[in-house]
C-alpha cells in the first residue's frame, strides 16, 4: 500500500504522523512525504534562503530513515497560494505516489499554512482522479482515504482513530532529531522544545488509547470520505 503524508512545513509530518509512517514502512508499505513550505521564516540566524536549504536537508534526512520519497514545493512560509499552479503540483505528487491513504493537516489547526494545506489537499484529491485534468502522470485509479493528523497542542481535535506507535517511537524521535537546527531554536519555549512537545502529545494520545505512545487521526464527516475498513496500521 502507498501512503502519502502532506505537511505545510518541514517538521510537521515528523511531529504528528511520523510514527504511523514508520509503522507502515516496517509492515512493508511505501510511505511518501510532501512539504509545501520551505520553512524559511524559522529564526535560525541565517538568511531565508539559507534557512530553507538547511530545513529541506533536515527533512530529507528524516525521510531517508524510513525509506520515504519526499517532495518539496518550496513556497515561502505564510505565502501558500491557491492557484492552479500549486494545485497541479499537488495533483502530480498524488499521481506519482498513487496513495491509498493520504494524511494531512486538520482544517481546524491553528496556523494559516496548516489550514490552507488541508483545504488544498482535500480539493486536489478529487482532481487527481479526473482524466481531463492533465499533468505528467496519469490519474490515480482509486479515491484515497483521507485522514487528518493531530493539531498543535491537540486543540479542537476529537480523534476517530489512534495508532499505537510504541514499537516505532524511537524512530519517530530520530526523525524529529534530524531537525536539530530548529529544535535548538525552540528550546526557549516555556512548554519545551520540539522533542518535548512531541513526547507530550504522543504520551497524551497514548493515555487516551490505553497504550504508551500513540498518534491520533480523524477523517472528514462528508460523503465519499466515510470509512468502512480502517487502513491505518
Q: Along the 233 residues of the chain, how does pLDDT read in single tens digits?
A: 999 999 999 999 999 999 999 999 999 999 999 999 999 998 777 899 999 999 999 999 999 999 999 999 999 999 999 999 999 999 999 999 999 999 999 999 999 999 999 999 999 999 999 999 999 999 999 889 999 999 999 999 999 999 999 999 999 999 999 998 776 665 566 656 888 889 999 999 999 999 999 999 999 976 666 667 788 88
Show me where the domains of the chain are located: 2-218
Q: Is the CATH code 1.20.210.10 the one for domain 2-218?
A: no
The residues, any chain, with a CB within 8 Å of residue 225's CB and separated by 6 or more, are 145, 146, 219
What number of CA atoms fall less than 13 Å from residue 207's CA on the CB side?
Answer: 5
Helices and strands per DSSP (H, E), number in the chain? 8, 7
What number of CA atoms fall less than 13 Å from residue 224's CA on the CB side?
Answer: 7
pLDDT of residue 191: 59
Amino acid at each position: 500500500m502507498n501512503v502519502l503524508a502532506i505537511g505545510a512545513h518541514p517538521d510537521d509530518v515528523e511531529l504528528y504522523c511520523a510514527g504511523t509512517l514508520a509503522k507502515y514502512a516496517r509492515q512493508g508499505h511505501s510511505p511518501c512525504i510532501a512539504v509545501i513550505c520551505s520553512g524559511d521564516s524559522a529564526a535560525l540566524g541565517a538568511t531565508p534562503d539559507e534557512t530553507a536549504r538547511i530545513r529541506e536537508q533536515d527533512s530529507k534526512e528524516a525521510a531517508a530513515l524510513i525509506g520515504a520519497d519526499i517532495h518539496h514545493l518550496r513556497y515561502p512560509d505564510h505565502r501558500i497560494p491557491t492557484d492552479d499552479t500549486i494545485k497541479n503540483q499537488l495533483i502530480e505528487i498524488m499521481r506519482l505516489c498513487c496513495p491509498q491513504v493520504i494524511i494531512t493537516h486538520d482544517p481546524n489547526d491553528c496556523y494559516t499554512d496548516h489550514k490552507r494545506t488541508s483545504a488544498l489537499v482535500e480539493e486536489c484529491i478529487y482532481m487527481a482522479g479526473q482524466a481531463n485534468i492533465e499533468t505528467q502522470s496519469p490519474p490515480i485509479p482509486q479515491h484515497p482515504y483521507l485522514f487528518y493528523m493531530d493539531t498543535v497542542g491537540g486543540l479542537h481535535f476529537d480523534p476517530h482513530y489512534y495508532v499505537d506507535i510504541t514499537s516505532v517511537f524511537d524512530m519517530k524521535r530520530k526523525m524529529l532529531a534530524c531537525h536539530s537546527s530548529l529544535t535548538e531554536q525552540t528550546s526557549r519555549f516555556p512548554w519545551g522544545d520540539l522533542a518535548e512537545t512531541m513526547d507530550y502529545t504522543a504520551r497524551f494520545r497514548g493515555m487516551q488509547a490505553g497504550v504508551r505512545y500513540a498518534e491520533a487521526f480523524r477523517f472528514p464527516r462528508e460523503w465519499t470520505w466515510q470509512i468502512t475498513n480502517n487502513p491505518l496500521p
